[in-house]
């Protein structure tokens, strides 16, 4: 079990590095916590190595993997899209899930998923396999990189413009919905801009058109006159809008708060004083990597205020099973199952992404999670019996305690009569059906 304290933190203590001691020892529970948040779960070998290496060295490996990530990317980056570029989002979903399962850099893929939820681009509106794939590659390129570089790229992303019904940005008809979404949803947050700011920013987007799913600048439709946006004046383009928005303190506050919810806790909103040092640091260069590193290494991350204080999304739930049992599974049926559980990859319900939190769980989706766990563990069926709990237990341990330690790091007990002689699939399923496994 984790040894955690519930006391509030002052900012200096919260963001200082966690160093194990007698009061807060490094143990299996905290290793599992780290892999749930910074990856998609862990194998037994990864958990054991983490115990030996300690928290900071384990985090080093998650931030900067020892494996050849570039070689993996060269092999897995491209998915052949249909010649007519029809919307084959089913193939793209399956391709992305395979990347999540096989990647040597799970933190990068986890943050790509974060940005997919932040910039809620919907493949149905885009209706272009290539444009959606390019969008995902753009997110991945900057997922742990520079938000300052990401935002103008997103503003010039064909998939983004198509998803926001902004394929034609004419001088005579500025698209205020596009500008408002970038201000309210992606950067500043509500109430931090005026209607005039929205109108002037919309003028700066003029001239950009999506033709045959490719972004094109039509010069005659570009508004090159003076514009006034958030107290600044100039002949601004969309790149200037991106710069102005990134430079606003409110944008740093928005991004830091959302990353905090993703990596630390979504149950209690942090006060501004706690987040202020992170927002101030992020505002200096807008680099995501040091922000994520600070959060993962922190005392707060390894405290009771963070431990199991997030609800697993359907993707996190399913991949936690797959990773723990050390095999890949067919991902087309997995993508369909996740869609039924409320997380249809590449199809977030709005530009705000998914609500997350407790919205993931209701009577229907909880039953659906149990059904998915059972299907993943079956010796036949849609997932082909790829996951073999008995084989994993045979390599590492046996009995109900092994699966409780693998999936829950000892945070729960089984009370249904399972023991060392019970079928491994039944024991594994019993562990996965526990309420604690729904929490990240």
Do 227 and 329 belong to one domain?
no
For helices 55-63 and 44-53, the axis angle rounded to 10 degrees is 120
Do 156 and 236 belong to one domain?
yes
Average pLDDT of the segment spanning 309-333: 97
For residues 282 and 108, what is the distance between their CA atoms, to the nearest angstrom?
18
| Distant-in-sequence, close-in-space partners of 242: CB < 8 Å, separation ≥ 6 | 151, 152, 155
pLDDT attached to residue 76 = 84
Average pLDDT of the segment spanning 60-72: 93
Does 1 reside within a domain? no
- Is residue 245 scored above 60 in pLDDT? yes
Number of domains in the chain: 3
Among 191, 214, 247, the domain boundary falls at 247
Computed over every residue of the chain, the mean pLDDT equals 94
State the number of CA atoms in the 13 A half-sphere of 124 facing the CB: 7
Average pLDDT of the segment spanning 240-262: 98
Task: Enter the pTM of the model.
Answer: 0.95
Does 165 reside within a domain? yes
For residues 274 and 299, what is the distance between their CA atoms, to the nearest angstrom?
13
Do 178 and 89 belong to one domain?
yes
Among 247, 280, 296, the domain boundary falls at 247
Do 108 and 227 belong to one domain?
yes
- Is residue 3 scored above 60 in pLDDT? no
For residues 252 and 148, what is the distance between their CA atoms, to the nearest angstrom?
11
Residue 358 in contact with residue 311, Cβ under 8 Å?
yes
Would residue 134 be called left, alpha or beta, if left means φ above 0 and alpha means ψ between -120 and 50 degrees? Answer: alpha
pLDDT attached to residue 87 = 66
- Is residue 70 scored above 90 in pLDDT? no
pLDDT attached to residue 77 = 78
CA angle 305, 308, 314 (to 5 degrees): 140
| Residue 352 backbone dihedrals phi, psi, to 5 degrees | -85, 0
Do 215 and 236 belong to one domain?
yes
Share of the chain above pLDDT 90, in %: 88
pLDDT in tens, 103-162: 999 999 999 999 999 999 999 999 999 999 999 999 999 999 999 999 999 999 999 999
The residue range of the domain holding 240 is: 69-247
Average pLDDT of the segment spanning 193-209: 98
Cα end-to-end span (Å), the chain: 15
Does 260 reside within a domain? no
pLDDT attached to residue 111 = 98
Do 19 and 147 belong to one domain?
no
Compute CA distances 131 → 19, 35, 81, 166, whole Å: 45, 32, 10, 14
Lowest mean pLDDT among 223-232, 296-305, 413-422: 413-422
| Residue 290 backbone dihedrals phi, psi, to 5 degrees | -65, -30
Does 100 reside within a domain? yes
| pLDDT: which is higher, 403 or 8 | 403
pLDDT attached to residue 73 = 86
119: nearest Cα among 85, 163, 78, 81: 163
pLDDT attached to residue 75 = 85
pLDDT attached to residue 335 = 98
For residues 173 and 437, what is the distance between their CA atoms, to the nearest angstrom?
51
Q: What is the 3-state secondary structure (H, E, C) of 283-342?
A: HHHCEHHHHHHHHHHECCCCCCCCCCCCECCHHHHHHHHHHHCCCCCCHHHHHHHHHHCC
pLDDT attached to residue 419 = 57
Do 50 and 73 belong to one domain?
no
Does 255 reside within a domain? no
- Is residue 50 scored above 80 in pLDDT? yes
- Is residue 21 scored above 90 in pLDDT? yes
- Is residue 82 scored above 90 in pLDDT? no
Place 5 in a pLDDT band, splitting at 50, 70 and 90. low
- Give 214's strand partners: 211
pLDDT attached to residue 86 = 67
Do 123 and 158 belong to one domain?
yes
Place 435 in a pLDDT band, splitting at 50, 70 and 90. very high
Do 153 and 193 belong to one domain?
yes
Does 388 reside within a domain? yes
Do 110 and 215 belong to one domain?
yes
Does 341 reside within a domain? yes
Average pLDDT of the segment spanning 289-310: 97
Do 132 and 171 belong to one domain?
yes
DSSP state of 2: -
Distance of CA 354 to the CA centre of its chain: 11
- Is residue 8 scored above 80 in pLDDT? no
- Is residue 78 scored above 80 in pLDDT? no
pLDDT in tens, 326-380: 999 999 999 999 999 999 999 999 999 999 999 999 999 999 999 999 999 999 9
Do 25 and 94 belong to one domain?
no
pLDDT attached to residue 162 = 97
Does 282 reside within a domain? no
Average pLDDT of the segment spanning 32-37: 98
- Is residue 80 scored above 80 in pLDDT? no
321: nearest Cα among 47, 43, 98: 43
- Is residue 176 scored above 90 in pLDDT? yes
Among 214, 247, 280, the domain boundary falls at 247
């Amino acid at each position: 079990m984790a040894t955690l304290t519930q006391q509030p933190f002052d900012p200096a203590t919260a963001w200082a590095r966690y160093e194990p001691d007698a009061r807060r020892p490094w143990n299996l529970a905290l290793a599992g916590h780290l892999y749930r948040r910074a990856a998609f779960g862990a194998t037994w070998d990864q958990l054991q190595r983490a115990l030996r290496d300690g928290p900071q060295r384990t985090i080093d490996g998650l931030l900067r993997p020892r494996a050849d990530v570039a070689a993996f990317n060269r092999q897995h980056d491209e998915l052949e899209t249909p010649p007519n570029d029809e919307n084959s989002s089913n193939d793209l979903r399956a391709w992305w899930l395979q990347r999540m399962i096989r990647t040597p850099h799970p933190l990068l893929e986890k943050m790509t998923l974060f940005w997919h939820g932040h910039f809620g681009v919907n493949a149905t509106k885009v209706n272009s396999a290539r444009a959606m794939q390019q969008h995902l590659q753009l997110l991945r390129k900057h997922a742990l990189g520079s938000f300052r570089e990401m935002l103008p790229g997103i503003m010039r992303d064909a998939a983004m413009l198509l998803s926001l019904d902004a394929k034609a940005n004419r001088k005579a008809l500025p698209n205020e919905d596009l500008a408002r979404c970038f201000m309210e949803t992606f950067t500043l947050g509500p109430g931090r801009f005026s209607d005039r700011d929205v109108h002037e920013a919309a003028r700066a987007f003029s001239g950009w058109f999506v033709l045959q799913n490719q972004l094109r600048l039509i010069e005659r439709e570009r508004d090159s006159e003076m514009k006034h946006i958030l107290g600044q004046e100039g002949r601004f383009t969309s790149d200037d809008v991106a710069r102005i928005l990134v430079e606003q303190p409110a944008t740093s506050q928005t991004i830091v708060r959302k990353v905090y919810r993703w990596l630390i806790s979504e149950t209690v909103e942090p006060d501004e004083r706690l987040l202020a040092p992170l927002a101030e640091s992020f505002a200096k260069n807008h680099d995501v990597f040091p922000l994520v590193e600070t959060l993962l290494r922190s005392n707060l991350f390894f405290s009771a205020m963070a431990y199991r204080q997030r609800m697993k999304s359907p993707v996190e739930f399913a991949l936690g099973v797959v990773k723990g049992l050390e095999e890949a599974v067919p991902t087309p049926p997995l993508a369909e199952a996740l869609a039924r559980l409320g997380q249809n990859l590449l199809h977030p319900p709005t530009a705000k992404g998914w609500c997350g939190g407790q919205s993931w769980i209701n009577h229907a989706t909880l039953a659906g999670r149990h059904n998915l766990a059972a299907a993943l563990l079956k010796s036949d069926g849609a997932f082909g019996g790829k996951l073999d709990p008995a084989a994993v237990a045979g390599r590492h341990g046996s009995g109900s305690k092994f699966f409780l330690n693998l999936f829950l790091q000892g945070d729960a007990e089984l009370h249904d009569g399972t023991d060392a002689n019970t079928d491994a699939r039944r024991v594994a399923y019993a562990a996965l059906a526990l309420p604690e496994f729904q929490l990240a």
